[in-house]
Amino acid sequence: MDFWNIANASVHQVDQCLNLNHIYPEEIELHIRRLQQIQRAIRDLQNATDNLDDASAWLEGIESLLILLRERRTAVNIPSASTHDNHPASNIRQQDDYTDQHPFIHLDMVNIHRLLQIGYTKQEIADLADISMKTLQYRLAVEPAITLNTDEIDEIM
């Protein structure tokens, strides 16, 4: 996917978040970070070339979305743990067991796979769960998303 498609998809996701009145702190922070990255990249492109006619329109649109997201973040001002228990980003890290020398971190892999499907990156999920990228990659390899082939679907039906 090229940069402009990614930027367009990210802006669309922010627009949906705002239109659906999402108040999940992690989601709002994620969108703010993504838009800031896109904004920096567009400014870099604009500085590198003089042939970027749409850059000003993009930067203005992103800035207005950032303002709306920051207002939403300020207006919500709700502790994240108590307000969005139904959101897949909440409670990814369920429990830590301390046995032997290394702790074992229990993760809700169903929610992790959901977050991947809706567009979160592995790094963002690792950050939300407060785990290393290496731990997340290992867990995804051990517990891949469940997929059914057509025969299995027919059998269930």
DSSP 108-148: -HHHHHHHHHTT--HHHHHHHHT--HHHHHHHHHHSPPP--
Of 5 and 101, more confident: 5
Taking the C-alpha atoms of residue 14 and residue 32, their distance in angstroms, rounded to an integer, is 9
Question: Which tens digit of pLDDT belongs to each residue from 85-123?
Answer: 445 555 676 666 666 666 777 888 888 888 888 778 898
Answer whether 94's CB lies under 8 Å from 78's CB. no
What's the confidence (pLDDT) of residue 100? 63
Quote the CA–CA distance of 125 and 94 in Å, as a whole number. 14
Partners of 106 in beta bridges: 95
For residue 94, the SS3 value is: strand
- Is the confidence at residue 9, as pLDDT, over 70? yes
One-letter amino acid of 17 = C
> At 130, is the pLDDT very low, low, confident or very high (cuts 50, 70, 90)?
confident
Q: How many H-runs (helices) and E-runs (strands) does the chain carry? A: 8, 2
Predicted pLDDT of residue 133: 92
Q: Are 76 and 25 in contact (CB under 8 A)?
A: yes
Q: Quick check: helix, strand or coil at residue 43?
A: helix
Please give the pLDDT value at position 101: 67
> Alpha-carbon distance 38 to 155, whole Å?
46
The pTM of this model reads: 0.51
Tens digits of residue pLDDT in 40-95? 888 888 877 766 677 888 899 999 999 998 888 887 664 433 333 445 555 676 66
pLDDT of residue 62: 92
